[in-house]
Amino acid sequence: DAKTTQPTSMDCAEGRAANLPCNHSTISGNEYVYWYRQIHSQGPQYIIHGLKNNETNEMASLIITEDRKSSTLILPHATLRDTAVYYCIVRVAGTASKLTFGTGTRLQVTL
Amino acid sequence: NAGVTQTPKFQVLKTGQSMTLQCAQDMNHNSMYWYRQDPGMGLRLIYYSASEGTTDKGEVPNGYNVSRLNKREFSLRLESAAPSQTSVYFCASSEHRTSTFRDTQYFGPGTRLTVL
């Protein structure tokens, strides 16, 4: 699986959009970009994933650059409950293989 | 629909004791996984089961055994616990539909294990 690079931490004011970047310059053509988050002491929670097109669901939007070397997770209206560690993971889908969790980005949403 | 459940939530063992961590999912998923997470670190895969009747080693399998009891249940056993196995253990499951690339993993709440 390709390696990812994320900032260690970010702050965001409640109600504003949180934009979390991820670099994955060695991504292969069959690798998807997945985002998970882990709220303190809980199990990781799936957020969204995509291959090359932008994706949106009820939780977030995923913007993938045309060359697929980087992506941005967008939480459109961050709340205090979005405070968590966010993990960007690149992997081949459908292989029943591990998710490689790096250190992620610690997002702190403040009043 | 409970998703992925794990028991127990907390456990304290003495060095050398054995125990089994239980995991069950009610989503009719084919694949199941066991991860461990040490303080301040990401998750590491211990074992996984791509489908009922199969198991494979992950990154850190030493000191553990697993059993895929049926499609719903996947247990993790520590035969002789060591302090280095103090960690939070997460079970996960995924549909593993290769034809549609829907392989999202869903996690349980975790078991916090301390080995003294």
| pLDDT averaged over every residue in chain A | 91
Q: What pLDDT does A2 receive?
A: 64
Question: By the 8 A CB rule, do B74 and B67 touch?
Answer: yes
Q: What is the pLDDT of residues A26-35, one digit of tens each?
A: 998 888 899 9
| CB contact A93 to B (< 8 Å) | yes
Count of positions (residues) in chain B: 116
CB contact under 8 Å between A43 and B108, yes or no, is yes
Calculate how close chain A gets to B40, using CA atoms only, in Å: 8
Calculate how close chain B gets to A52, using CA atoms only, in Å: 14
| CB contact A87 to B (< 8 Å) | yes
Question: Whole-angstrom Cα distance, residue B17 to residue A62?
Answer: 46
Nearest CB among A96, A97, A102 relative to B42 is that of A102
Mean pLDDT by runs of 10 across the 111 residues of chain A is 88 97 91 92 91 92 96 96 95 70 92 92
Stronger pLDDT, B88 or B52, i.e. the higher one: B88
pLDDT at residue B102 above 70? no
Stronger pLDDT, B100 or B40, i.e. the higher one: B40
Looking at residue B87, its amino acid is S
Residues of A within 8 A of B105 (CB-CB) are 44, 46, 99
A40-to-A2, A20, A83, A104, B39 alpha-carbon distances in Å:
26, 18, 9, 13, 11
CB contact under 8 Å between B30 and A34, yes or no, is no
Residue to substitute from A34, A38, A97, interface B, most B β-carbons within 10 A: A97
Question: Whole-angstrom Cα distance, residue B34 to residue B38?
Answer: 14
In chain B, at which residue ranges do the beta strands (DSSP E only) sit? 4-7, 10-13, 19-25, 31-37, 43-49, 56-57, 64-68, 74-78, 87-94, 105-107, 111-115
Q: What pLDDT does B100 receive?
A: 46
Q: What pLDDT does A92 receive?
A: 76
CB contact under 8 Å between B98 and A32, yes or no, is no
Q: What pLDDT does B99 receive?
A: 46
| CB contact A104 to B (< 8 Å) | yes
